[in-house]
């Protein structure tokens, strides 16, 4: 039995390898969620990361040590930051690189001054800067559809654009190549990954350009005891590490008068909050129980492959369909129930006050995990939605039926919660003026 359990959880890892983006574009949902909040209508002055670091390096060094100490205390299974990565405020020539390594992200990230714009009629004719200005991924050609506008330092921008644009940024390379050991023997290991102490990559497909970010964007806190007994790798996920870091960096930036970075760090944190509202990012294999996985692993290669494809296709389909609907409705159908769901504030007071990291485990992912079986049922025998599994570029009209209506109702309910978590988290960070 022990051997079969080992097999089944290797199988789970395969299922997780094919799709690591939770929402195809976090900007849309975050923007709509924040629109009801006056705190995001403020104009802020654009500031480069170099300017922020040069002005606050001494205080920032102290704050980073506080965050590290707090992380070691409150985050379960926290991989401590090595002492040699401690941020040195005296090394003025290398502040940017030292800061990025101190917070253990990919030090080649762009951190461009830009913002994304809604794909509405008045913006569609605007000339966008090259998408490679903002991402380390030349392969991510889907960003060609985004409208990216360059910002100049010391110019003014409405805060909602800063945070909403930043909410998509962790998918542009922040969490790439951060492990000191790969899944495959010939996998590329970066020099910084060797020093970060995140250990071996637990899951994700290294053949995909974004594959190594998976353990930072998914978290499985609500699996069966068998899972945790047989598969220790399930615990090797790091969204809590990211949220706690960016939450505190955002508060620090606001407290020291750097509102632009306060709103931008907040957006980074909101990315992971948004990711974990997606049931496929909080649940190993929605709709497939442990007994069925064990049987497939031991007795039927064909069934195992069927389960793998099922989870992968359903994960892709719901995300691509959501992206398709958002782009279709924005600027054309402002009264779309899907768009209005993000702005719906009726659930904001349902959730308890933000306390990290407990909120992530006990509130956010608990709710998401509870939705997993329902989502699997919604996608069962649902060809109009499942045709999005292979592409997010489908332009044909979706034929409405009982199953598409059920899908819409599920997404509306999920997006109401997405909006509530986004606003509540933001209220816990930003100063009320």
Q: Which two tokens stand for residue 50?
A: 């170099």
CA distance 134 to 120: 21
pLDDT on residue 79: 97
The answer to whether residue 432 is domain-embedded is: no
Binning pLDDT at 50, 70 and 90, where does residue 296 land?
A: very low
pLDDT at 290 over 60: no
Helices (H) and strands (E) in the chain, counts: 18, 4
Cβ(204)–Cβ(213) below 8 Å: yes
Half-sphere exposure of 342 (CA within 13 A, CB side): 22
CA distance 320 to 325: 9
The answer to whether residue 36 is domain-embedded is: yes
A 10 A CB-CB count for 151 gives 20
pLDDT at 282 over 90: yes
pLDDT on residue 285: 74
pLDDT on residue 205: 77
Cβ(79)–Cβ(96) below 8 Å: no
The answer to whether residue 372 is domain-embedded is: yes
Largest CA distance in the chain: 64
Average pLDDT over residues 322-334: 89
Average pLDDT over residues 104-129: 95
The answer to whether residue 387 is domain-embedded is: yes
Question: pLDDT, tens digit, for every residue of 329-356?
Answer: 998 898 999 999 999 999 999 999 999 9
Bridge partner list, 213: none
Identify the domain containing residue 200 by its residue range: 2-427
Binning pLDDT at 50, 70 and 90, where does residue 299 land?
A: very low
pLDDT on residue 306: 56
* pTM recorded for the entire structure: 0.93
The answer to whether residue 308 is domain-embedded is: yes
Number of domains in the chain: 1
Percent of the chain with pLDDT over 70: 88
Binning pLDDT at 50, 70 and 90, where does residue 305 land?
A: low
The answer to whether residue 230 is domain-embedded is: yes
Q: Angle CA(95)–CA(172)–CA(330) in degrees, nearest 5? A: 130
The answer to whether residue 330 is domain-embedded is: yes
* End-to-end Cα distance, the chain: 60
Question: pLDDT, tens digit, for every residue of 308-318?
Answer: 677 778 888 99
The answer to whether residue 433 is domain-embedded is: no
Tokens 């970060």 locate to 196
pLDDT at 319 over 50: yes
| C-alpha torsion angle, residues 213, 176, 171, 385 (rounded to 10) | -40
Residue 200 DSSP code: B
């Amino acid at each position: 039995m022990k051997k079969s359990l080992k097999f089944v959880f290797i199988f789970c890892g395969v299922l997780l390898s094919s799709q690591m983006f939770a929402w195809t574009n976090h900007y849309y949902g975050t923007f709509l969620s924040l629109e009801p909040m006056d705190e995001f209508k403020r104009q802020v002055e654009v500031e480069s990361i170099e300017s922020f670091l040069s002005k606050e390096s001494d205080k920032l060094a102290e704050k980073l040590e506080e965050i590290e100490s707090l992380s070691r205390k409150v985050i379960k299974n926290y991989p401590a930051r090595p002492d040699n990565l401690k941020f040195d405020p005296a090394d003025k020539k290398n502040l940017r690189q030292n800061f990025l390594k101190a917070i253990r992200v990919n030090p080649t990230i762009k951190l461009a001054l830009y913002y994304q714009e809604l794909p509405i009629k008045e913006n569609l004719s605007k000339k966008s800067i090259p998408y490679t200005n903002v991402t380390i991924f030349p392969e991510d050609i889907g960003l060609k559809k985004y409208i990216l506008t360059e910002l100049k330092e010391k110019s003014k921008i409405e805060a909602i654009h800063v945070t909403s644009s930043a909410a998509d940024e962790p998918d542009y390379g922040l969490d790439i190549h951060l492990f000191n050991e790969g899944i495959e023997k010939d996998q590329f290991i970066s020099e910084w990954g060797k020093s970060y102490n995140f250990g071996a990559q637990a899951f994700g497909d290294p053949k995909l350009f974004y594959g190594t970010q998976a353990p930072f964007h998914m978290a499985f806190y609500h699996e069966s005891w068998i899972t945790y007994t047989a598969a220790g790798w399930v615990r090797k996920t790091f969204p809590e590490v990211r949220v706690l870091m960016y939450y505190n960096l955002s508060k620090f930036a606001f407290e020291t008068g750097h509102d632009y970075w306060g709103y931008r760090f907040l957006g980074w944190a909101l990315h992971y909050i948004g990711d974990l509202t997606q049931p496929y990012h909080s649940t190993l294999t929605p709709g497939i129980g442990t007994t069925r996985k064990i049987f497939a692993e031991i007795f039927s290669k064909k069934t195992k492959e069927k389960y793998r494809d099922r989870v992968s296709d359903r994960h892709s389909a719901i995300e691509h369909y959501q992206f398709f609907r958002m782009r279709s409705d924005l600027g054309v159908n402002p009264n779309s129930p899907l768009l209005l769901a993000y702005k719906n504030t009726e659930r904001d007071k349902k959730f308890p006050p933000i306390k990290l990291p407990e909120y992530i485990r006990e509130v956010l992912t608990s709710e998401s995990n509870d939705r997993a079986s329902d989502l699997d049922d919604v996608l069962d025998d649902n060809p109009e939605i499942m045709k999005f599994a292979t592409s997010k570029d489908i332009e044909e009209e979706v034929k409405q039926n009982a199953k598409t209506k059920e899908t819409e109702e599920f997404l509306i309910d999920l997006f109401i919660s997405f909006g509530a978590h986004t606003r509540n988290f933001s209220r816990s960070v930003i100063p009320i003026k």
